[in-house]
Amino acid sequence: MTVTAPHETARRVAPAKARILETAMRRFYDDGIRQVGVDLLISESKVTKATFYKHFGSKDRLVLDYISTRRDAALESLSGLVTAHEDPRVGLRLVADAVVAQVNAPGYRGCPFLKAAAEFPDPTHPVRRVVTEFHESLHEVLEQTLTRMSHPMPGEAADELVLAYDGAMAWSHVGDVIAASAALRRVFDRVIAQAG
């Protein structure tokens, strides 16, 4: 679920635009969105200022593209995992495995969505709306999977899985990654077992 490059679409993206977004994906995640200035992005992307503004118009637009790209890629990955196997229980275990792999990967610096929410505290800001959309969509994917499993309380169980997901993503960055990974797996295993 780690995203290091823009999600490919059917539409061809100009190479300069792709380079700028690739640079933003790395720098915004590693250093923080507000810490990274336009001049640094232009320099590292090896584009001119005119090219930057032609493709994005402003840093705000690039930030929105950055967080939207992360949202789309993460949801595509999660949806693919829960449908990768006929048995939805296996799909949920694949989600847990993917989270554990992500938080244990070299260069993991925390959840990009939680980090973005911390930098944009106003819930009406477009970046925060994308973060909220991600969590709502994550909940929906999990609830639908739990419903397919005939879980007795799929909505409430999805709440627990989202909480475990966010908790593991945060705790792994600031605390004990091994304990966070184990706790995440326990919650997923318990919720799966409740489905009978």
Q: What's the CATH code, domain 12-57?
A: 1.10.10.60
pLDDT tens-digit readout, 30-74:
999 999 999 999 999 999 999 999 999 999 999 999 999 999 999
- Nearest CA among 143, 187, 146, 141 for reference residue 167: 187
pLDDT at res. 9: 43
What amino acid occupies position 93? R
Task: Tell me what pLDDT residue 12 has.
Answer: 75
**Mean pLDDT to the nearest integer, 110-121:** 96
Assign 3 a pLDDT band (cuts: 50, 70, 90). very low
69-102 pLDDT, tens per residue?
Answer: 999 999 999 999 999 889 999 999 999 999 999 9
Q: Where are the domains of the chain?
A: 12-57, 59-194
Q: What is the pLDDT of residue 137?
A: 98
Q: Which pLDDT tens digit goes with each residue over 156-190?
A: 999 999 999 999 999 999 999 999 999 999 999 99
Higher pLDDT, 5 or 160: 160
Residue 133 has pLDDT above 50, yes or no: yes
Which pTM was predicted? 0.89
The phi and psi torsions of 156 (rounded to 5 degrees) equal -65, -40
Contact at 8 Å (CB) between 22 and 6? Answer: yes
10 pLDDT above the threshold of 50: no
- Quick one: 151 exposed, middle or buried, by C-beta within 10 A (0-12, 13-18, 19+)? buried
- The yes-or-no verdict on residue 196 having pLDDT over 90 is no
Report the candidate in 161, 134, 163, 10 with the shortest Cα–Cα distance to residue 74.
134
CATH topology (fold) of 59-194 = Tetracycline Repressor; domain 2 (1.10.357)
How are the residues of the chain apportioned to helix, strand and coil, as percentages rounded to the nearest 5? Answer: 75, 0, 25
